[in-house]
Amino acid sequence: MKYIALISLLYIIVFFSCKEQIQKVIYNPPIFNETTKRSVTVIGDIIDDLPARCIIFNDFLILTHRSIKNEQLFHAYNKYTGEYKCSFGNRGRGIGELIHINGISIDKKNNSMLVGSLESNQIIEFILDSLKYGKVEVSKKILKHPLRGIGFYSIGKNQYLSIYNPHNRFQLYDDNLNIIDSCNYYSQIVDGIPNTKAANSYYTYCSNIGIKPDGSKFINLTLSGGILEIFEIKEDKINHLKTIHYYQPIYDEKTGIPKWDEAIYGAITLATTNKHIYILLNGSFDSEAKVNKISVLDWEGNPIKQYDLGVDLMRIMLDEESGKGYVIFRDDNYEYRLGVFNL
């Protein structure tokens, strides 16, 4: 009898423990009470193609795009004038060459840009000390195991983060590229129902990652539907802090592949600073809808304001220290232009 009572008690404890882990899921788009209009000043010539990734380094904007000038992967432009400076990074399997680009980040301590390459056991490091002279040196960091995630980032504090690995959603590395922590937390998608394997796979197919430059936090924000997750990195551990649900995703129940035509589009792209998160939110069923506004959140996920720039925005880069924002936008002739505006 005592045995049966004990089993019943354990069952009740487990039941309520599991129940507490099931979140209440409510989808609400963000509401911004302040909108500031800004004009965009075009700098430089037409960009050959839409950059897949953009990053600021000192006086330069480094863009990843196809170019009619050469076959190299990265192209540096003066952030004040938009003038093209140089290109670097070769595609291939040789020393310092890349097949796939999986995450770009700046290592300010070493004045370098780190680039992960899928299925490689090395991180390519581009030394940018002489970028102003049009020269870039190449070295590499060796991983203990091949990188099979879809992104690799320097996150400050001499640590690194890889995302969406085969066995772990996130992996944290020390300065010697040893794995020191992993995280497999996935935010719930449907109210009252734990995620299926397919639901977790959904995140892999359509996520934007943003790293807080001081290395203390990062976010995951989805493109199909809109789910914002905030994580912290504290004492060499990855911890989930908060999830905010904007738009409900729709995905294949077996594979997790998003049904792009049936769900509202979430984040086109994002950029982060130590103070804010900047997002291009689509918020419609039209993947080609013009997005003229940059939405600004704090690192708790609270809506702060929007910048209405009046142009068809594609990519954003922010420099809060200088009070400038940089954008790639599409003009009326469907050409890609580089522009700057005041924050």
Mean pLDDT, rounded, for 269-289: 95
* Residue 19 confidence class, pLDDT cut points 50, 70, 90: very low
pLDDT at 4: 52
pLDDT at 104: 84
Average pLDDT of the chain is 88
pLDDT greater than 50 at residue 273: yes
* Residue 103 confidence class, pLDDT cut points 50, 70, 90: confident
d(CA 64, CA 54): 6
Question: Do 106 and 116 touch, CB atoms closer than 8 A?
Answer: no
pLDDT at 119: 61
CA distances from 43 to 36, 294, 329 (A): 22, 19, 12
pLDDT greater than 80 at residue 16: no
pLDDT greater than 60 at residue 3: no
Q: Which of 193-207, 217-231, 284-298, 303-317 has the lowest mean pLDDT?
A: 193-207
> Structure pTM?
0.89
pLDDT greater than 50 at residue 17: no
pLDDT at 105: 85
pLDDT at 114: 87
